[in-house]
Amino acid sequence: MGFGAPALAKLCIVRNLLYRIYEQRIERHLVGADLPQHIAVMLDGNRRWAGRSGAPAAKGHAAGASKIFEFLDWCDEVGIRNVTLYLLSTDNLVKRSDDELSELLKIIGDVAGEMANRQRWVVKLAGNREVLPSELRSTIEQVENATRTLDKPTVNLAVGYSGRTEIADAVKSILKQHLDRGESIEQLAEAVSPEMIAEHLYTGGQADPDLIIRTSGEQRLSGFLLWQSSNSELYFEEALWPDFRKVDFLRAVRAFARRNRRFGA
């Protein structure tokens, strides 16, 4: 027996009410808990989400872009001061079709522009600027400049990102800095430390992520934040990114709060 439209509407209302009650219950448990201060997210599953309805990939990317602002609202509500969003890898730049990549680049530019318009976050690029198309690079740099002086949470946009390239770029930056100072290779070898490398990463000056969330059921980091994730807690969520709900976010934060972080001990 099928449900008519009125019955389905009532079911949706009841379901949403139950989810809200559950959200409030988790939120109460988070009061006074040890919460992450930096959350990184792998926004995975946009294309599969679109494919389920036979829609083009661009529709999934657009739905995923809308979810970003919901997610940032949830982070603000619980006091997360630093978020890193994995939006586009260097592999994506060469492996996606021209049509899909063109739509995706436009969507990322629109997301960055909307962040500047809202003036609620300090936006920073976490990626290799040199590999980005000039228009997108210019857009993101304008957003960085427009939000640089805000006293707001920081959002890193991992665009044109590769974890291995990030570490290589950090080493190049260190070498250039020491050559500019006229120091010898022996002096550089003595000075190199994990702290120095960390300062030259795309996220230099920021704390490493406490929690990394990946949606869509995949359970791997795929080169994301290879250096920074050494002590991060990992949380894998079955929902595709456009379907990621506040209750899923709260459960991830609660799981983090319940873990006994050993930091290698």
List active site positions: 44, 92
Cα angle vertex 108, ends 107, 114, to 5°? Answer: 90
SS3 letters for 21-89? HHHHHHHHHHCCCCCCCEEEEECCCHHHHHHCCCCCHHHHHHHHHHHHHHHHHHHHHHCCCEEEEEEEE
CA–CA dist 106, 127 (Å, integer): 17
b/e 87-126 (16+ beta carbons within 10 angstroms → b): bbbbebbeebeeebbebbbbbbbebbbebbeeebbbbbbb
Q: How far apart are the first and last CA of the chain?
A: 57
Number of H helices and E strands in the chain, helices first, is 10, 6
